[in-house]
Amino acid sequence: MELKLGGLKLENNKVRIGLGFGLCLLVTIVLTFSHLSESLSRKILDRQFAYLRDHYPHPISNDVVIVGIDEATFKTFKEPYELWHPHFGKFLQAMTRTKPSVLGIDVALPEHSYDFLIPKYDQNIAQGLLALKSQTPIVLGQMLDENGNFRSVYAPFIDASGADALAPVVVCSETDGVARRADPNQCTVNAQGETLTEAMAAHLGKKQTSRGLVDFAVGDDLTYIPFQKVLEWADQGDEEQLQHAFSGKPVLVGMILPFEDRVNLPVVLAAWEPENRHLSTVVWQAQALRSMLTNGLLKDSNPNFVLVLSLLATLLWFARLHWLRFVSLVILPISLLIYSTWLLRHAVHLPVGGILFSGLFAFAMRSIYELVLKERENKQLRGIFGNYVSAEALRALMAGGVQSSLEGERKRVCILFADIHNFGARSESSSPQEVVVVLNEYFSEMAVAIHQHDGTVSKFVGDSIMACFGAPQALECPEKNALEAAQEMLLSVRQVNARLKERGIAPIEIGIGLHVGDVVIGHIGSESRHEYTAIGEVVSIAAKLEELTKTLGYPVVCSKAVAESVELSGGLTDLGNQPMKGDAVLSVCGWYPPLFAAN
């Protein structure tokens, strides 16, 4: 039910709705241009990468080959890693025979000469690099030291590989500790020129014009060939195996150790560690190179486009119907996830966290707004009906179990009129204080008696009470409830008289009239003052029946229609047709309630 208070209330509601939507827009802008929603966007992105890898795999025909220096490699060679010159020389000679499309060395090469230990010891690597350079591009990784500075590489090795062979190796993690982007500027300002993977991609005709997200949906799970296995094939002269493994393919050499050079990745990528996402950095380098060689690094959606989608999501604020808001709240994330996943397959990243937060915020704020309005409405209804109906009827009304239109409706009810006999003359001779005491005592008890039998107090007029039974709470037999309430009222008058006697105040006597029929009932009055009441001939007849109690000698007089509804039971006496004010004649019954007569 909604009490209509005119244009002012409507205008105020429009203002509140406008202010609420403005708040949603402000929050949307903050979410779009801040990092508050990035965490959700990243989690969704990682799930999308995993989903695409599982359901829409994008295999690569000429995939990156990883040559891994693992724990078994260190166990195979007895020399310290710094003295592996002969092993690296043999590896480079093997690469010269197989002719890979590009070779990237993602390991730390010597910073200085070791010829002081063994004459011409450096030639193992230098000659291998020089021989390979004539047919295969070489990129030497420049590693970071423990202080965050790039380590130098022995100059003759750089000369042997080519003047532009040196490239920084940097893997930067985002704020959540996961490496998703190929952008060394995230964690260092010292990186100059192309990175290792960018240089390798450029040698293969895939020069990157910008940096961005690595596409972790590309390619199958990576495998690697142990470094010592390559040397074993070379020692055995197994040219077929070497050609099959490396010929015409991009090759990356890197460390694969359990506790060193590791980084968190958004998906599982290594076939040799199927449940682990904390993997060697060479795995990240290989995936970055894969991404550059296929669709390129992922592009971020235009921020203005993201803002537009976020603003559209805030339109959930205007969904007034609860079911429409809930349906929209379900459709929004599903549509966004489908659309952003489709974009991801086409090398575009749409961060959906801010959009989802915007829609959820608008939904939550509108829901809270509606709850506040509902509570205000309930408070209004409690104020309207709290003094009219019983507590039980009020709870049913608040819970929606009672339907009552404040705009008016036609209902069949039983009307009760009660009046204190000769109270007008009595009040003339009594003090104002006594009149107030009597009426307050009387009305308080009468309201309780009426409410106990599910009646609704319509009005107090002077010393008279009007009540109706059957509205707003429908009753199976409103006449029965009204008769029971009349009996309760008469018994309560005795209690009132007992208290009045203690104060030295004369007792009172009341008469009650009852009639049943159809009335127009609703909340009637002006915007500033109104009451829940009934209008119709039934009301005036009930008032005239109360007048007959003074002449017929019965405390309760009701119409024959009321008596017949209870089959004239409980001591009702048929008094035949009786004249009433206005020359009307009505068949009536008189009643001494059994409990009242017994006392």
The per-residue pLDDT for range 304-345, each reduced to its tens digit, is 898 898 888 888 878 766 677 778 778 889 999 999 999 999
Distance between CA atoms of residues 262 and 277, nearest Å? 10
259 and 358, same structural domain? no
Beta pairing partners, 178: 264
Maximum mean pLDDT: which of 249-258, 391-400, 467-476: 249-258
Note down the domain range covering 522: 402-598
Q: Is residue 395 part of a domain?
A: no
- Out of 21-25, 283-287, 299-303, 531-535, the most confident range is 283-287
27 and 67 inside one domain: no
CA-CA distances (angstroms) from residue 378 to 74, 165, 262, 374, 409? 78, 77, 61, 6, 20
Tokens standing for residue 213: 């997200």
List, for residues 422-443, the tens digit of each pLDDT value.
898 888 888 888 888 899 889 9
* Average pLDDT of every residue of the chain: 86
Write the CB contacts of 45 (distance below 8 Å, at least 6 apart in sequence): 180, 213, 266, 344, 349, 351
Number of domains in the chain: 3
Q: Tell me: do 259 and 360 sit in the same domain.
A: no
**SS3 for 186?**
helix
Count of CB atoms situated within 10 Å of the CB of 528: 6
Q: Does residue 256 share a domain with residue 227?
A: yes
Confirm whether 53 is domain-assigned.
no
b/e burial code for range 325-350 (CB count within 10 A of at least 16 → b)? beebbeebbeebbeebbebbeebbbb
Residue 142 counted as domain residue: yes
Kindly report the pTM of this predicted structure. Answer: 0.65
Domain boundary (346, 381, 416) is at 381
Same domain, 89 and 128: yes
- Among 330, 348, 381, the domain boundary falls at 381
* 72 lies in the same domain as 184: yes
**CATH number of the CATH domain containing 525:** 3.30.70.1230
Task: Pick the closest to residue 198 from 238, 157, 139, 249 (CA basis).
Answer: 139
Whether residue 387 is contained in a domain is answered as no
Residue 549 lies in a domain: yes
pLDDT 10s digits, 477-535: 999 999 999 999 999 999 999 999 988 889 999 999 999 999 998 877 665 556 778 88
* 451/66: higher pLDDT: 66
287 and 308, same domain (yes or no) = no
The answer to the question of residue 417 being in a domain is yes
For residue 90, being part of any structural domain is answered with yes
- pLDDT tens-digit series, residues 185-226: 777 756 667 889 999 999 999 887 668 899 999 999 999 999
Asked if 548 and 481 sit in the same domain, the reply is: yes
**Rounded Cα gap, residues 386 and 71, in angstroms:** 82
Residues 90 and 112 in one domain: yes
Closest by alpha carbon to 563, among 479, 472, 447?
A: 479
Contacts with 348 (C-beta within 8 Å, 6 or more apart), sequence order? 298, 299, 300, 301
User: Do residue 29 and residue 88 come from a single domain?
Assistant: no
Both 250 and 326 in a single domain?
Answer: no
Domain boundary pick from 315, 346, 381: 381
Residue 52 lies in a domain: no
Q: Are 494 and 599 in contact (CB under 8 A)?
A: yes
Q: 406 and 273, same structural domain? A: no
